[in-house]
């Protein structure tokens, strides 16, 4: 297997907390433009895996590569965000007092210093970018609404939109549909599906129905390692998976 | 200005048009004061009932200095969530810098007639001018110090506080401590700032007699201009993208950091800028009031400023200015008519506003306008 054309490549990553192995020689890869779902019971290491990729947690051993030649283990959190890995946390946090438009504006890639932001004006291209993202996340009509007036689902989309403003190559999305209504879940699957292709998307999710509706490739984690991989049907019929995760 | 002219930006992103309208009102009122006050003081004869007295001139000038101070506090508290309970310290530092210049201007006209040493130094038996008094006989040097000293104190203090991620009530407490420490220091005679008497008995500023109404009118006009300029500068900040970052910091600091903004540096910039405005206000205050002493550093003064802002309307610049004028007018009235009632009135005003008018009087007026 060649690792050179992967967006993300983890090899034998081990993370232990006080002797407990959150990740146990985990190896996985993400293809360019794919939508990968990662499922697994609580404590399987899903969030720890994301922490390693975004630089929040340093592994005890193993390697993590982004693209051809970027060693993620050598970079800090902000540096990793800069090179194009965006992460959406479980709990949505948008700026409540700022409008949807302003939320996206602040997420816009660009110089972050006080003076530069004080003097910043929006170029036509940046406007277009905000408009595009508003379209993608379906909040065009809410552009002038303050963040606090959005529904839970809309906040989640706005946050995905804020990630998109930073034009990441790889999007890590943690439990995007937790607490959503069925209609919102449906909108979210459409949104994530539309993002794949241009971006690589990794979704960590508990909701099996949701995963079934979007996944092309599913990875099942258990006790810090991959126990099954493939499409949803394959994974769901895998004896080991049935044993540890799907129950019965 | 720096704002791109896109109609819907002005509507939705640059804040409400109500804000811009109120800004026009605010500047118009200032212009009105700047035109009417000189006329009623200089052109209407003192015998007329419409003559504006020197006392009224001083009062109006004082209110405008306080309005600047309130705006400075509102910029960091209302927009960035930094509650400074020490802004009277920056105000006083600016005032002391001006006071030092005015003291040097007295020259040999002091009670002791020493050509160089101010009276209090002669009284303390000092033989020569302390080094930090050098240069204060030049107005330009003193003017630079009026800006530089508050800025430097804010820079050093803010750098340590923000870098250590001191926020919220802890920050407020150490700003109180800063102000209190400065007060104690300035009370000491050997500090070289006149001890508990501070500076007074000023004669003239740049050769103009401070006791003449004409000089007072000019000082008032300069104060009005400084207030307008501070207002426009603060508005340029809060309406820029940096201003939106400040509000983002106020509402979700760690999220802002996660977006890649250097939160500490933003706080430091705006804190220093706010201290400079407070310093200018203090520098304009001293020649009009005619005295500066360590009592100006008193922690209660800084707290009072916060009350002005809360009463007027936190998060609207003109609201802070209006609150300062309103509360101080009430103070002037009550301390004259019912002096023992004032502190109770101030306290209940603060409680009432906190409970029933979270957006202050301006917020009330705005919602009334909207309802119509």
Using CB atoms, pick whichever of A82, A99, A117 lies closest to residue B245.
A117
Domain of residue B307: give its range: 16-371
pLDDT value at position A4?
Answer: 55
Instruction: Yes or no: say if B321 and B26 are a contact pair by the CB < 8 Å rule.
Output: yes
Q: Is pLDDT of A78 > 80? A: no
Please give the radius of gyration of chain A, using alpha carbons only, rounded to the nearest integer.
19
The CA-atom distances, in angstroms, between B231 and each of B98, B277, B301, B370 are 22, 10, 22, 24
Strand order in the sheet with A35-39: A85-88, A170-174, A200-204, A35-39, A217-222, A225-230
Total number of domains in chain B: 1
Would the pLDDT of A58 be above 50? yes
Q: Is B241–A120 a contact, with Cβ atoms under 8 angstroms apart?
A: yes
- B19 and chain A: CB distance < 8 Å anywhere? no
The closest CB to that of A98, out of B8, B11, B248, belongs to B248
Tell me how far apart the alpha carbons of residues B295 and B196 are, in angstroms, rounded to a whole number.
8
Higher-confidence residue: A122 or B320?
B320
C-alpha distances out from residue B301 to A85, B128, B323, Å: 49, 34, 15
Residue A168 lies in a domain: yes
- The predicted pLDDT at position B49 comes to 82
Could you tell me if residue A36 is inside a domain?
yes
Q: Do B252 and A93 touch (CB under 8 A)?
A: yes
A1 within domain boundaries = no
Beta-bridge partners for A26: A13
Q: Is there a domain that residue B231 lies in? A: yes
Nearest in space to A179 (alpha carbons), one of A216, A212, A154:
A154
Place of tokens 């200089």: B42
Sequence-separated (6 or more) residues with CB below 8 Å from residue B176: B85, B86, B299, B302
Report the CATH number at residue A212. 3.40.50.300
Q: What is the CA radius of gyration of chain B?
A: 21
Going by pLDDT thresholds of 50, 70 and 90, the confidence category of residue A245 is low
Distance to chain B for A113, nearest Cα, Å: 7
Q: Is B1 on the interface with A (CB under 8 A)?
A: no
Q: Closest-CA residue in chain B for A106?
A: B245
CA quadruple B254, A7, A160, A203: dihedral sign? negative
Residues 80-139 of A with CB under 8 A from B: 81-82, 93, 95-99, 101-102, 105-107, 112-114, 117-122, 127
CA-to-CA distance for B69 and A138, rounded, in angstroms?
44
Pick A118's closest partner by Cβ from B242, B251, B258. Answer: B242
Q: What residue of A is the nearest CA neighbor of B79?
A: A97
Q: So what's the pLDDT on residue A209?
A: 82
| CB-based contact, B261 to chain A, within 8 Å | yes
User: Is residue B250 within 8 angstroms of chain A, CB to CB?
Assistant: yes
Contact B327, B349 (CB under 8 A): yes
Locate tokens 């791109």: which residue? B4
HSE on the CB side for A35, CA within 13 Å?
19
How close, in Å, is residue A227 to chain B by CA atoms? Answer: 33
Let me know if residue A46 belongs to a domain: yes
Contact list in B for residue A141 (CB cut-off 8 A) is none
Band of residue A42 on the pLDDT scale cut at 50, 70, 90? confident
* Under 8 Å between Cβ of B199 and B192: no
Which of these, B281, B294, B250, B275, lies nearest to B156 by C-alpha position?
A: B275
Environment class of B290 (CB within 10 Å of its CB; exposed 0-12, middle 13-18, buried 19+): middle
- The low-confidence residues of chain B, meaning pLDDT below 70, are 1-19, 372
Does residue B74 fall inside a structural domain? Answer: yes
Four-point Cα dihedral B183, B185, B191, B192, nearest 10: 0
Instruction: Give a three-class secondary structure readout of chain A.
Output: CCCCCCCEEEEEEEEEECCEEEEEEEEEEECCCCEEEEECCCCCCHHHHHHHHCCCCCCCEEEEEECCCEEHHHCCHHHHHHHCEEEECCCCCCCCCCEHHHHHHHHCCCCCCHHHHHHCCCCHHHHHHHHHHHHHHCCHHHCCCEHHHCCHHHHHHHHHHHHHHCCCCEEEEECCCCCCCHHHHHHHHHHHHHHECCEEEEEECCCHHHHHHHCCEEEEEECCEEEEEECHHHHHCCHHHHHHHHCC
The 10 Å CB-count burial string (b at 16+, else e) for A29-52 is: bbeeebbbbbbbeeebbbbbbbbb
pLDDT score for B323: 94
Higher pLDDT, B280 or A230: B280
Residue A3 falls inside a structural domain = no
B11 touches chain A (CB under 8 A): yes
Mean pLDDT of A213-233: 88
pLDDT value at residue B76: 96
φ and ψ at residue A65, rounded to 5 degrees: -115, 140
Mean pLDDT for the stretch of residues A223-229: 88
How many independent structural domains does chain A possess? 1
Closest CB from B3, B251, B265 relative to A95: B251
pLDDT for position B4: 43
In a domain, A222, yes or no: yes
Q: State the ipTM, two decimals.
A: 0.81
Q: Is residue B7 part of a domain?
A: no
The SS3 assignment for B148 reads: helix
Contact A96 B240 (CB under 8 A): no
pLDDT tens digits along B322-353: 999 999 999 999 888 888 888 888 889 889 98
**Contact assessment for residue A138 and residue A187, using Cβ atoms and an 8 Å cutoff:** yes
Neighboring chain B residues of A120 at a CB cutoff of 8 Å: 240-242
Contacts 24+ apart (CB under 8 A), B12-20: B12/A99, B12/A101, B12/A143, B12/A144, B13/A99, B13/A101, B13/A102, B13/A105, B13/A144, B14/B239, B15/B238, B15/B239, B18/B366, B18/B369, B18/B370, B19/B316
| Within-domain flag for B45 | yes
Q: What domain range includes position A58?
A: 8-246
- From the list B8, B248, B250, which residue is nearest A106 (CB)? B248
Is residue A2 included in any domain, yes or no?
A: no
Tell me the nearest-neighbour CA distance from B112 into chain A, angstroms.
Answer: 51
Round the average pLDDT of chain A to a whole number and report it.
87
């Amino acid at each position: 297997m060649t690792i050179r054309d992967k967006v993300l490549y983890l090899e034998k990553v081990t993370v232990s907390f006080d002797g407990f192995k959150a990740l146990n020689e985990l190896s996985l890869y993400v293809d360019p433009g794919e939508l990968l779902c990662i499922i697994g019971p609580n404590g399987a290491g899903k969030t720890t895996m994301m922490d390693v990729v975004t630089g929040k947690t340093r592994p005890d051993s193993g390697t993590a590569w982004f693209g051809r030649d970027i060693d993620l283990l050598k970079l800090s959190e902000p540096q990793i965000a800069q090179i194009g890995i965006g992460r959406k946390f479980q709990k949505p946090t948008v700026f409540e007092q700022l409008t949807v438009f302003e939320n996206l504006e602040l997420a816009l890639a660009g110089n972050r210093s006080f003076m530069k932001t004080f003097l910043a004006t929006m170029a036509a291209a940046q406007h277009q970018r905000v408009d595009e993202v508003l379209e993608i996340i379906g909040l065009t009509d809410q552009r002038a609404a303050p963040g606090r007036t959005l529904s839970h689902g809309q906040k989640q989309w706005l946050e995905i939109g804020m990630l998109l403003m930073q034009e990441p190559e790889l999007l890590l999305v943690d439990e995007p549909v937790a607490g959503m209504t069925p209609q919102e879940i449906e909108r979210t699957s459409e949104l994530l599906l539309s993002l794949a292709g241009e971006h690589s998307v990794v979704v960590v999710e508990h909701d099996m129905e949701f995963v079934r509706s979007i996944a092309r490739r599913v990875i099942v984690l258990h006790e810090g390692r991959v126990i099954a991989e493939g499409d949803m049907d394959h994974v769901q019929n895998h004896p080991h998976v049935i044993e540890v995760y799907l129950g019965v | 200005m720096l704002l791109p002219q896109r109609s819907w930006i002005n509507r939705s992103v640059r804040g409400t048009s109500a804000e811009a309208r109120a800004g026009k009102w605010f500047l118009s009122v200032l212009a009105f004061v700047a035109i009417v006050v000189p006329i009623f003081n200089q052109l209407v004869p003192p015998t007329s009932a419409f003559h504006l007295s020197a006392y009224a001139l001083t009062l109006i000038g004082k209110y405008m200095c306080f309005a600047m101070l309130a705006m400075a506090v509102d910029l960091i508290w209302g927009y960035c969530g930094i509650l400074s309970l020490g802004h009277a310290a920056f105000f006083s530092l600016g005032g002391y810098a001006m006071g030092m210049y005015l003291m040097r201007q007295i020259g040999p006209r002091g009670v002791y007639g020493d050509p160089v040493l101010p009276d209090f130094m002669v009284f303390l038996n000092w033989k020569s001018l302390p080094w930090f008094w050098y240069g204060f006989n030049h107005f330009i040097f003193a003017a630079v110090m009026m800006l530089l000293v508050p800025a430097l104190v804010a820079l050093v203090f803010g750098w340590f506080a923000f870098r250590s991620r001191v926020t919220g009530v802890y920050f407020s407490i150490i700003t109180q401590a800063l102000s209190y420490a400065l007060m104690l220091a300035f009370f000491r005679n050997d500090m070289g700032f006149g001890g508990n008497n501070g500076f007074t008995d000023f004669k003239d500023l740049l050769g103009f007699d401070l006791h003449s109404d004409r000089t007072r009118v000019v000082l008032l006009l300069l104060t009005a201009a400084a207030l307008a300029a501070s207002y426009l500068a603060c508005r340029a900040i809060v309406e820029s993208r940096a201003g939106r970052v400040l509000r983002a910091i106020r509402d979700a600091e760690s999220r802002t950091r996660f977006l890649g903004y250097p939160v500490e540096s933003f706080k430091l910039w705006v804190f220093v800028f706010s201290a400079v405005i407070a310093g200018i206000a203090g520098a304009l205050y001293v020649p009009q009031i005619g005295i500066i002493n360590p009592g100006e550093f008193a922690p209660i003064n800084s707290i009072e400023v916060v009350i002005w802002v809360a009463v007027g309307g936190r998060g609207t610049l003109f609201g802070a200015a209006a609150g300062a004028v309103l509360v101080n007018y009430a103070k002037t009235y009550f301390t004259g008519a019912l002096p023992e009632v004032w502190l109770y009135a101030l306290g209940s005003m603060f409680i009432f506003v906190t409970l029933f008018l979270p957006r202050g009087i301006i917020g009330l007026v705005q919602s009334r306008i909207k309802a119509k």
